[in-house]
Amino acid sequence: MENVLIVGAGPVGLMLACELGLAGARPIVLEKRTEPSELPRANGLGGQIVEFLDHRGLLERFSAGSPFAGRAPGFPFGSVPLRFAGIDDLPLQLLLIQQPRIERLLTERATELGVEIRRGYEVRSLAQDAEGVTLNGGLRARYVVGCDGGRSLVRELAGIGFPGTTDDEPLRLGHFRTDVGVFESPQFDGLEPGWTRTPHGRLLLTSLHPGVLVAGVREKGEPLEGPATIEDFRAAVRRVVGRDLPLGEPIWLSNTVSQARLAERYRVGRVFLAGDAAHLFPAGGSALNVGMTDAANLGWKLAAVLRGRASGGLLDTYESERRPVAERALMQTRAQAVIDQVGGEDGAALRELLTEVFAFEQPLRHLAGLLHDSGVRYGAEPGPHTGSGGSGRGSGSADHPLVGRFAPDLALADGRRLAELMHAGRPVLLDLGGGAALDDDWIDVVRARADDPPADALLIRPDGYVAWAGKDGLAEAAERLFGVPASR
């Protein structure tokens, strides 16, 4: 019997495979496509996943050749721009990288870690019992994780509901290779980067890479059927703006429709969901961030249970921690979609007012936090009060502002950063002068100094979240989470 079968070799499935491989598990990734896709369904990563790649020592590899990597100078919230210039401590990070490259790099890393990827394998049936899960009547594993997208067959076979709504404005989207500088042709007169609204629909024009134009057309109507064609795309452009545009040679065309959906459960027995199989967002900027950090959360927990380091109850915390993240992401992306869709004078007034409101620092900070990690603190109720809070060298409890939050990337006195301590994907006890100690070969104990330390010590989970901080209560925290005793 295998340990874990991961259905789907997209970014989420491959990220989970890397996490399990790093922890010593030997997952198998099952993918129905016989070859990797070259479709640029996503054009970048934004939010906490960028920090997590840094925690795994992968950020340099992923950012090589990227036209932009770093703190976001701004971000579109619906069709209202957020401008972060002058606020240097916002968390939101951006990395421009197309999905085919993300998948190639994650496949490369998974292979380095000994992960097997089986292509051309399509799941047709699923049955589970007290000991494991069987796919297609033969392949058997202790756990199965569906990372097979919005139309997840794993979700369907597991009997998990996927309620939500479907947009009534289908989207035609295309990438075009052009020798003409975007917007330099007179035929683009009157059109600006971003969305242009007309009485007949909306047109998107932008460029994320030199020589490549990204164009999109939204019109109200029935869902688009059949393969996307350049003739249909050009006809849609004419209907919306009343003229032809020099789009260039099509690289990739797609017909799609936005959906807002959230799985009723993330786990049924030994079957789990992650990524688009668990949630679909109606506006951009959150899907890969939430999906790939789903994988970060689930990976170490599955590995801990497989190694006998934790009871199966730890796996229940996957849903209790990650579903609220998706709920918050769904809330803010629904709001983005509405801001973008409202037309006429009402829509113009709404966007004008929000542009004024979003010019103030506090709304910008709040929205940046939502986009970065959904503003959720593990173990706390979601909402505005779940922000990162301040610092302080508390006595060590769930009340410490760092507990339940992603660990800040402290600069240590010896020149290292906290992110560098997390490359092995193991728990870390960072003793910053409090004399904390643990006697366990799974947890890395690091003694260091830092200017203005946020606590005497931090116990950090493999996914980068702070499990405990302060002085007192380390023994209880270590035993509860990792099943090990502590000494002082």
Dump pLDDT digits (tens) for 358-392. 999 999 999 999 999 998 899 864 444 333 333 33
Spatial separation of the C-alpha atoms in residues 261 and 444, rounded to whole Å: 39
Q: Which domains does the chain have, with CATH numbers?
A: 2-164+260-332 (3.50.50.60), 168-257 (3.30.70.2450), 389-487 (3.40.30.120)
Average confidence (pLDDT) over 33-61: 94
Q: What is the pLDDT of residues 346-367, one digit of tens each?
A: 999 999 999 999 999 999 999 9
Exposed e or buried b per residue across 182-203, where buried means at least 16 C-beta atoms within 10 angstroms of its C-beta: beeeeebeeeeeebebeeebbb
- Quickly count: other Cβ atoms within 10 Å of residue 215's Cβ: 23
Per-residue pLDDT band at 309 (split at 50, 70, 90): confident
Residue listed under structure tokens 């690091």: 446
Distance CA 475, CA 9 (A): 39
Instruction: Please state the pTM of the whole predicted model.
Output: 0.92
Mean pLDDT computed over 250-271: 95
**Does residue 485 have a pLDDT over 70?**
no
Q: The tokens of 358 are what?
A: 């979003």
CB atoms within 10 A of CB 381: 9
Q: What is the mean pLDDT of residues 55-60?
A: 98
Q: Please state, as a whole number, how many other Cβ atoms lie within 10 Å of the Cβ of residue 58.
A: 17
Helix (H) or strand (E) holding 202: strand 201-209
Q: Residue type at 98?
A: Q
Report the alpha-carbon distance of residue 221 to residue 218 in Å, rounded.
9
